[in-house]
Structure 1
Amino acid sequence: MGIASGIVLYLVVWFMTFFVALPIRIETQGEAGDIVDGTHSGSPQQHHLKKKAWITTWIALAIWAVLAYIIITGTISVRDFDWFNRMG
């Protein structure tokens, strides 16, 4: 795995982890009882984006390290997924 592919893999893992973390602990305006005129009651009041970004960074780093180890050592290769015996 090259440097560019390692960075791309980390970014993919980071964004997937971030999208999973986004709906966690959101306090909506309806729950807070402070609905701003012109917005939906389900709009976030407190979203904690900075905290979620930092947590996501560390979790994504751990996931990326495991994936990078598997790819670099060849523990799992493309041939392991050749279910139709196309690789010979």
Structure 2
Amino acid sequence: MGIVSALAIYFIIWWTTLFVVLPIGNQSQHEAGERALGTADSAPVNARMGFKVLLTTILATAAFAVFYLVTQVWGLGPDDLPHVIPGT
């Protein structure tokens, strides 16, 4: 795997992990009973994006390390999975 491929795969893993991490710990303005003028009731009170970006980076790095270990060090790929034919 080249550096460009590794960066592309890491970016995809990071972006997917971000969408998993974003809802963690959110409280909407409606739930908190606070309402900032000009915002929707569903807008978060305190998004804590710095924490979420850091958590996303840590989790994505761990997931990429597992991916790299399995594919590059152990040499496993999709062709190594057993082929199951339904109905046999």
Sequence identity of aligned pairs in percent? Answer: 32
Given the alignment of the two structures, is residue 11 of structure 1 paired with residue 16 of structure 2, yes or no? no
TM-score by length of 2: 0.82
Aligned Cα RMSD in Å? Answer: 1.8
Deviation at 1:81?
A: 4.8
CA deviations on 1:29-77 (whole Å, 9 max, x unpaired) are: 1122111233321111111111000011011101100101111124422
Query: 2:43, 2:73 → 1: CA distance?
Result: 45
CA deviations on 1:3-51 (whole Å, 9 max, x unpaired) are: 1111111111111111000011111111221112333211111111110
1:56 alignment counterpart: 56
Q: Look up the SS of the partner of 1:60 in the other structure.
A: helix
Larger relative strand fraction:
1
Structure 1 residues 71-80 or 26-35, which shifts more? 71-80
